[in-house]
A = this chain, B = another copy of it.
Amino acid sequence: MSLLIAGTMAFDAIETPFGKTDKIIGGSATYAAWSASHFTQPIQQISIIGGDFPQEEIDQLSARGVQFDGVEQLQNEKSFFWSGKYHMDMNTRDTLITDLNVLEKFNPQVPASYQDAEYVMLGNLMPKLQMQIIDQLKHRPKLIIMDTMNFWMDIAMDDLKDVLKKVDLLMVNDGEARQLSGEYSLVKAAQKIMSMGPRYLIIKKGEHGALLFHGTQVFFAPALPLEDVFDPTGAGDTFAGGFIGYLAKTKNISFENMKTAIIVGSAMASFVVEKFGTQRLKEISKEEIDMRLNQFVDLVNFEIDIV
Contact = CB atoms under 8 A, between A and B. Distances in A.
A173 B220 CA distance: 20
Contact of A304 (B293, B303, B306): B293
A188 B263 contact: no
A263 B307 CA distance: 11
A49 interface: no
A225 B217 CA distance: 11
A302 B263 contact: yes
Instruction: Give the interface size bracket for A toward B.
Output: 35 or more
A170 to B, nearest CB: 17
Interface stretch (A50-58, A106-114, A151-159, A205-213): A205-213
Given A304-B293, A307-B39, A185 B264 contact: no
A252 to B, nearest CB: 10
Contacts of A39: 307
A304 B286 CA distance: 14
A185 B39 CA distance: 31
A289 interface: yes
Contacts of A260: 302-304
B208 A208 contact: yes
A304 B297 contact: yes
Interface in A271-287: 286
A207 to B, nearest CB: 8
A187 B299 CA distance: 13
A225 B211 contact: yes
B227 A185 contact: yes
A203 to B, nearest CB: 9
A188 B227 contact: yes
A220, A262, A289, A290 interface centre (most CB from chain B within 10 Å): A220
A186 B225 contact: yes
A222 B286 CA distance: 28
27 contacts: A185-B229, A187-B226, A187-B227, A209-B209, A209-B222, A218-B225, A218-B298, A219-B299, A219-B300, A219-B302, A220-B225, A221-B300, A221-B302, A222-B300, A246-B307, A256-B303, A259-B303, A260-B303, A263-B302, A263-B304, A264-B307, A286-B307, A289-B307, A290-B307, A293-B304, A293-B307, A300-B300
Given A256-B302, A263-B302, 13 more contacts: A185-B227, A185-B228, A188-B228, A208-B208, A218-B225, A219-B298, A220-B225, A220-B299, A246-B307, A256-B303, A259-B301, A260-B303, A260-B304
